C-alpha cells in the first residue's frame, strides 16, 4: 500500500498541470490507469482493488488535482460492462468512460414501471443486426448531456416479465430519441422524460444476452445504491460533467476549477443541511438549543447518523474485499433517505415561519428550505424506500418474498402498469 501511495503521488506531481484542458488531463489519467485503478488494465485502470482506488483518490485530493470523471456511466455503466460485457464491448466503452469522453444515463423507470421495474413496456424488436425501440422512460437524470443510455426494454412478450427483458447500451444522439426536462418544485430540472420513436440500437450493444437483461439491471441498481448510500466523495476537485456533449473537455482546468469550487460549495451546503452538526448549529443560531423537545430531536438525529455511518463503512468494506454489493447498500440507502427526512422535519421545527423563506436574506440563505423541497427525491432515486425494505426483509431478515402470482405468466397475458391485457 505504501509503494502504491508513493507511486501515485510521484505520478500526480509529474503530470498535474491546471493549465491543461480537462479532456487532456482525464485522458492521461485513464491511459496511466489512475482514473479507476480497480478497472481492468488498459481500460482506465490497473486491475487493483477498491481499497487501492481509495488511496489514489486520497493522493489526488492531497494534490488538489481534478478528480477522474464521475457520473452514472462511471458509477454503474463501467462496472456492469466489466461484469457482463465481452472484450469488444469493454474495448469500446470503458476507456471512453474512464477518460470522460462519454457520459451515460439510466433508462429504467417508466410511467407504469417504477418500483415494479420488471413491468417495463418499452419495446425493442429485432430487425437484422439492429433493434428498433419504441416507448417512454421517465425520471432520467442527465439525459440532456448523455452520450449513451443504459436501456432495459421488453424483447419477448411470450416470456414471463422478468425473463423477457434485454439490456442495451443505446446511442442517445439520434433522431428517434427525444428528451424533455421535468421542472421540479425546488426550481431545478435534473430529471427528464425520454421518448423513443423507432430508435435504433445495434445487436452488439446488448449486455448479458437477449431476454436475460434482468440480472444486469439488478446489478446496475446495486451499484447505484452503493453510490447513493455512500458518504465518501471522489478524490480531488470535481470539475465538469463527463461527455463531449457537456462541452467541458476543451476548457482549461484552471477555469473549471473556479466554477467547480462555487458549485461544490453550494452542493456541500445542501448536503451539510442533512447533517446533525448543521442542524445543531441552526438550533443555536435560532436560540432553540435549550428547548427540551428540540434537544431530544437533535440527539435522535445524531445517533441515527452515526449508526448510518457505520453501516456505510460495512458496505464499503465488503466491496473492498471484492464482494458484490449486498443488502448493506440497501440499508445504507434507506438510512440516508430517513436521515434527510429527519433533518428536514427538525430544521423546519427550529425555523418555524422562517422555513417558508428561500431568499438570500433568509436564515442560512434558505438552505434548509431548499432541503425541505428536495429531500423527497432521495426516497425515490435509486429505488424507492419500499423496494429497499423488501430487499432487507428478504435478504437480511430471511422473511418470505411477497407473493408473485404473475412470475411465471407470459407478459402478454398480464395487466401491468399502463398496459391492458392483449395490448
Catalytic residues: 224
* Intra-chain end-to-end CA distance of the chain, in Å: 59
Q: What angle do CA 317, 318, 321 make, to 5 degrees?
A: 85
Residues 6+ apart with CB under 8 A from 135: 110, 120, 121, 122, 123, 153, 195, 196
Closest CA to 110 of 130, 76, 134, 139: 139
CA distances from 245 to 75, 93, 140 (A): 19, 16, 17
Pairing of strands 148-154, 206-207: unpaired
> Interhelix angle for 367-374 vs 327-351, to 10°?
130
Instruction: Judge contact between 173 and 148, C-beta under 8 A.
Output: no
170's grid cell: 443505446
Cβ burial, residue 247 (10 Å; 0-12/13-18/19+): exposed
306's grid cell: 452515526
Handedness of CA 124, 127, 129, 133 (dihedral sign): negative
Q: How many CB atoms lie within 10 A of CB 372?
A: 21
Sole residue written with cell 469500446: 92
3-state DSSP assignment of residue 259: helix
Give the integer Cα–Cα distance in Å for 88 and 43: 12
Instruction: Judge contact between 330 and 225, C-beta under 8 A.
Output: yes
HSE (CB half, 13 Å, CA atoms) of 86? 8
Amino acid at each position: 500500500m505504501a509503494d502504491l501511495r508513493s507511486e501515485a503521488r510521484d505520478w500526480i506531481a509529474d503530470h498535474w498541470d491546471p493549465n491543461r484542458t480537462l479532456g487532456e488531463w482525464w485522458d492521461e489519467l485513464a491511459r496511466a490507469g489512475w482514473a479507476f485503478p480497480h478497472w481492468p488494465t488498459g481500460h482506465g485502470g490497473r486491475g487493483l482493488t477498491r481499497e487501492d482506488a481509495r488511496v489514489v483518490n486520497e493522493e489526488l485530493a492531497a494534490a488538489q488535482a481534478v478528480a477522474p470523471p464521475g457520473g452514472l456511466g462511471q458509477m454503474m455503466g463501467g462496472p456492469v460492462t466489466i461484469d457482463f460485457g465481452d472484450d469488444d464491448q469493454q474495448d469500446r466503452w470503458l476507456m471512453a468512460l474512464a477518460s470522460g469522453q462519454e457520459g451515460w444515463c439510466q433508462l429504467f423507470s417508466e410511467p407504469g414501471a417504477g418500483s415494479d421495474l420488471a413491468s417495463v413496456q418499452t419495446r425493442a424488436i429485432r430487425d437484422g443486426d439492429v433493434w428498433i425501440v419504441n416507448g417512454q422512460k421517465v425520471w432520467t437524470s442527465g439525459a440532456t448531456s448523455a452520450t449513451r443510455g443504459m436501456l432495459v426494454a421488453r424483447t419477448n412478450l411470450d416470456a414471463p416479465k422478468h425473463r423477457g427483458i434485454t439490456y442495451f447500451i443505446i446511442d442517445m444522439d439520434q433522431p428517434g430519441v427525444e428528451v424533455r426536462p421535468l421542472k421540479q418544485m425546488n426550481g431545478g430540472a435534473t430529471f427528464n422524460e425520454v421518448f423513443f420513436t423507432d430508435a435504433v440500437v445495434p445487436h452488439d450493444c446488448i449486455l448479458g444476452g437477449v431476454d436475460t437483461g434482468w440480472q444486469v439491471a439488478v446489478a446496475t441498481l446495486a451499484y447505484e445504491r452503493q453510490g447513493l448510500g455512500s458518504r465518501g466523495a471522489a478524490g480531488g476537485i470535481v470539475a465538469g460533467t463527463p461527455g463531449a456533449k457537456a462541452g467541458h473537455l476543451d476548457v482549461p482546468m484552471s477555469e473549471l476549477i473556479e466554477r467547480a469550487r462555487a458549485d461544490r460549495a453550494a452542493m456541500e451546503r445542501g448536503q451539510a443541511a442533512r447533517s446533525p452538526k448543521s442542524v445543531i448549529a441552526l438550533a443555536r443560531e435560532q436560540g432553540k438549543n435549550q428547548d427540551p423537545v428540540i434537544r431530544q430531536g437533535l440527539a435522535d438525529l445524531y445517533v441515527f447518523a452515526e449508526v448510518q455511518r457505520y453501516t456505510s463503512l460495512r458496505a464499503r468494506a465488503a466491496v473492498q474485499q471484492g464482494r458484490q454489493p449486498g443488502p448493506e447498500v440497501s440499508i445504507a440507502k434507506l438510512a440516508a433517505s430517513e436521515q434527510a427526512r429527519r433533518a428536514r422535519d427538525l430544521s423546519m421545527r427550529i425555523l418555524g415561519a422562517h422555513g417558508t423563506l428561500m431568499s438570500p436574506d433568509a436564515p442560512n440563505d434558505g438552505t434548509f428550505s431548499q432541503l425541505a423541497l428536495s429531500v423527497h427525491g432521495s426516497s425515490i432515486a435509486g429505488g424507492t424506500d419500499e423496494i429497499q425494505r423488501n430487499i432487507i426483509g428478504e435478504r437480511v431478515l430471511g422473511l418470505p418474498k411477497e407473493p408473485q402470482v404473475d412470475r411465471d405468466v407470459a407478459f402478454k397475458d398480464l395487466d401491468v402498469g399502463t398496459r391492458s391485457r392483449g395490448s
